[in-house]
């Protein structure tokens, strides 16, 4: 038998939750968490439910009354006010006082009314016993008055009851006093309450805003020098900060900045025969100068790096570090901890492979080593080390090739000490693996956006991200390019393609990034036809980019700055949840809108995904969804060109010339606003 067979309230289907509470739902500070639950009981009694929440380290729960939404669904919301781990749950119970009131309203027989009134007085006395101060006095007095009057009338003979009809009506009015019911509701009998998910409740991770809304810019520090042929330094990057800030990016991300291995170093364009002076791949980490806790001497010193982090912060930019847990053959770890690496039958260390690709300059860690505890601790200390230099964002390279258990432990341990630290999972792999990493604690995740080009592909994929089962834990970060991925769509592409993909990434996803200056300079030369590798890739050599100016004619940097300015000033574009696609009469026109949490700020984007020809057609919009329904016409203000159009609910004509402007980004507002 159960411990408490008197529990009658049922709580079911609490949403949101991730894998029955195994993993945490994610929100940012101040973001509303709307919770719903199925709450009911046997019979006809009334139930009440409350949403409860607390910081994980607190003992006291905060509570909010849940309201019925129909069909036994109840809901309430709260906004966590601080970073860290939280807990939330739903508590429900049979409300005997409200059940009594509901029955009393239906009673007609005088004798039944009098008995019910006396029962109500008993319930009021019980509530008074749980109350304090003036509330206790009010409930006690009310119960006494109700009982006394009911008993007095009850002593009247049945034949005389007709003579006291007005008194019975008065007693019923007293019993159904809304003011007294409000007081009684403050002191419910919860001895037999049901609590969902036990005393611990469901987990919630609350991050800072940048976890949900960010604009990333990636550059190779070694290519930041103004003079051609010179190796760039942290000081050179510091000189590029105004350029990055002017474009509107708030995260500046570097590939690995550590010493680069010399053994089996790769040459230009990934050749196995490097020439003297070839700089190698930054992802081949470690040499005699040090490993994951050191910097490449050619870039500067650790203190130079700290200075760069501080200078970036002063301009509203955070530095994101690439953490790649792998080693060059001459990394100190290889000699110091040989058991951390898998051996081949000939005794040599197994290098990284993804057949047919071979990475002879990289040794992966063996997560089945007997010395795994020491290895885990050392890898976690790499994050701690760079946190000490002011880094609060880490982009982790290929996390899907490391043990899931390690990530769950490591991320939790880091965030327990530093809840403001964010992790981006660079994992272009199978969907279930990517989602698992997000569940384990990654703050953001890469996406398949790079390979989603048609209207159908974009609609299907971003609807899944915004409204699918991962919406409560998987925060997408959309990149049109990376140093590893030059999608065929960008191969020798015209300016309009780079503009189009930028607009799509920046308006479909609240977080997005580009690898530059390659992207804004519209670099689209593949190593060979059909390859996703850049020709003369910065992964293997220095590049000279000339002047880093936003107003260059051979750059779309000024356009990017405009798009980022729009993102920063319109709350609708700072979340992924409120996304809706609209039908168009032309398959080359993609139309969608976003609105903010209260529905008052709406931005509608229309993109011509044909970079060659003008595309025209009608966009069928839902004006009510954008808070301009029922007003006849409204203003669609193009924030890219400052044009204004008069639109109506239903079909609106659009024509986009790719050589002029391949997209509209429209602020939707009432004509009288």
Contact 172, 146 (CB under 8 A): no
CB 31 within 8 A of CB 79: yes
The partner residues of 647 in beta bridges, in order of sequence, read 634
Task: Count Cβ atoms within 10 A of the Cβ of residue 12 and give its class: 0-12 exposed, 13-18 middle, 19 or more buried.
Answer: exposed
Residue of 27, 48, 372, 54 whose CA lies nearest to 194 = 48
Q: What is the CA radius of gyration of the chain?
A: 32
CA–CA gap between residue 126 and residue 114 (Å, rounded): 19
The answer to whether 463 and 579 are in contact (CB under 8 A) is: yes
Q: Would you say 45 and 39 are in contact if contact means Cβ atoms under 8 Å apart?
A: no
C-alpha torsion angle, residues 268, 270, 274, 279 (rounded to 10): 60
CA 63 from centre of chain? 25
Closest CA to 359 of 320, 323, 401, 406: 401
Identify any residues that bridge with 5 across adjacent strands, giving them in sequence order. none
**Secondary structure class of 656 (helix, strand, coil):** strand
Give the C-alpha distances (Å, rounded to integers) separating 672 from 538, 600, 628, 639, 650: 52, 14, 11, 18, 20
Catalytic entry in 250, 330, 397, 610: 397
C-alpha dihedral, 169 to 173 to 176 to 178, nearest 10°: 170
Residue from 207, 236, 318, 426 carrying the catalytic annotation: 426
Maximum pairwise Cα distance, the chain? 117
- Strands, DSSP E only, in 277-420? 318-323, 326-327, 352-354, 357-359, 363-364, 393-397
Q: Tell me if residue 397 is catalytic.
A: yes
∠ CA 184-186-192, nearest 5°, is: 90
- Look up 547 and say whether it is catalytic: no
Q: Catalytic residue numbers?
A: 397, 426
């Amino acid at each position: 038998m159960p411990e408490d067979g008197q529990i009658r309230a049922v709580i079911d289907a609490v949403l949101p939750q991730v894998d029955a509470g195994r993993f945490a739902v994610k929100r940012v500070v101040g973001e509303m968490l709307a919770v719903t639950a199925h709450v009911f009981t046997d019979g006809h009694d009334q139930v009440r439910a409350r949403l409860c929440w607390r910081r994980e380290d607190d003992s006291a729960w905060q509570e909010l009354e849940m309201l019925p939404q129909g069909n036994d669904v109840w809901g309430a919301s709260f906004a966590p006010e601080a970073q860290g781990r939280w807990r939330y749950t739903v508590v429900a119970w049979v409300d005997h006082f409200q059940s009594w009131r509901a029955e009393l309203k239906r009673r007609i027989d005088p004798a039944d009314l009098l008995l019910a009134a006396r029962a109500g007085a008993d319930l009021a006395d019980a509530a008074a016993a749980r109350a304090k101060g003036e509330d206790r006095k009010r409930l006690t007095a009310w119960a006494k008055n109700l009982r006394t009057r009911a008993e007095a009338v009850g002593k009247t003979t049945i034949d005389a009851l007709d003579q006291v009809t007005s008194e019975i009506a008065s007693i019923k009015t007293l019993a159904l006093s809304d003011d007294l019911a409000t007081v009684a509701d403050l002191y419910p009998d919860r001895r037999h309450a049901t609590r969902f998910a036990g005393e611990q409740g469901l987990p919630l991770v609350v991050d800072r805003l940048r976890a949900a809304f960010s604009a990333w810019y990636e550059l190779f520090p070694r290519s930041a020098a103004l003079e051609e042929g010179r190796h760039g330094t942290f000081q050179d990057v510091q000189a590029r900060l105004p350029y990055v800030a002017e474009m509107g990016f708030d995260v500046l991300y570097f590939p690995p900045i550590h010493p680069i291995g010399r053994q089996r170093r790769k040459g230009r364009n990934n050749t196995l025969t490097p020439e003297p002076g070839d700089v190698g791949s930054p992802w081949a980490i470690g040499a005699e100068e040090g490993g994951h806790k050191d910097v490449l001497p050619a870039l500067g010193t650790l203190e130079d790096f700290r200075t760069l982090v501080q200078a970036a912060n002063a301009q509203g930019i955070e530095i994101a570090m690439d953490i790649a847990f792998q080693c060059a053959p001459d990394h100190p770890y290889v000699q110091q901890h040989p058991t951390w690496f898998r051996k081949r039958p000939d005794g040599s260390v197994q290098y990284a492979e993804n057949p047919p690709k071979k990475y002879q300059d990289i040794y992966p860690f063996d997560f089945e080593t007997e010395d795994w505890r020491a290895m885990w601790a050392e890898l976690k200390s790499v994050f701690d080390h760079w946190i000490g230099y002011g880094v609060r964002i880490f982009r982790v390279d290929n996390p899907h090739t490391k043990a899931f258990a390690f990530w769950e432990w490591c991320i939790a341990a880091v965030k327990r000490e530093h809840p403001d630290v964010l992790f981006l999972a660079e994992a272009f792999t199978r969907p279930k693996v990517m989602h698992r990493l997000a569940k384990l604690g990654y703050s953001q995740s890469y996406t398949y956006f790079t390979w989603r080009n048609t209207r159908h592909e974009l609609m299907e994929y971003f609807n899944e991200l915004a409204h699918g089962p991962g919406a409560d834990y998987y925060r997408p970060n959309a990149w049109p390019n990376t140093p590893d991925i030059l999608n065929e769509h960008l191969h020798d592409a015209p300016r309009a393609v780079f503009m189009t993909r930028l607009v799509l990434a920046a308006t479909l996803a609240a977080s997005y990034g580009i690898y530059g200056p390659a992207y804004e300079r519209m670099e689209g030369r593949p190593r060979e036809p059909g390859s996703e590798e850049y020709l003369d890739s910065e992964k293997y050599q220095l590049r000279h980019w000339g002047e880093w100016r936003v107003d260059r004619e051979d750059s779309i940097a000024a356009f990017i700055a405009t798009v980022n300015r729009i993102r920063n000033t319109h709350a609708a574009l700072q979340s992924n949840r409120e996304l809706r696609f609209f039908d168009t009469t032309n398959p080359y026109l993609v139309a969608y809108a976003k609105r903010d949490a209260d529905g008052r700020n709406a931005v509608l984007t229309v993109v011509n995904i044909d970079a060659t020809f003008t595309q025209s057609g009608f966009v069928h919009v839902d004006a009510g969804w954008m808070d301009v329904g029922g007003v006849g016409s409204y203003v669609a203000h193009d924030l890219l060109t400052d044009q204004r159009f008069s639109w109506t609910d239903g079909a609106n004509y659009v024509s986009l010339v790719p050589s002029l402007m391949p997209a509209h980004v429209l602020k939707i507002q009432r004509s009288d606003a």
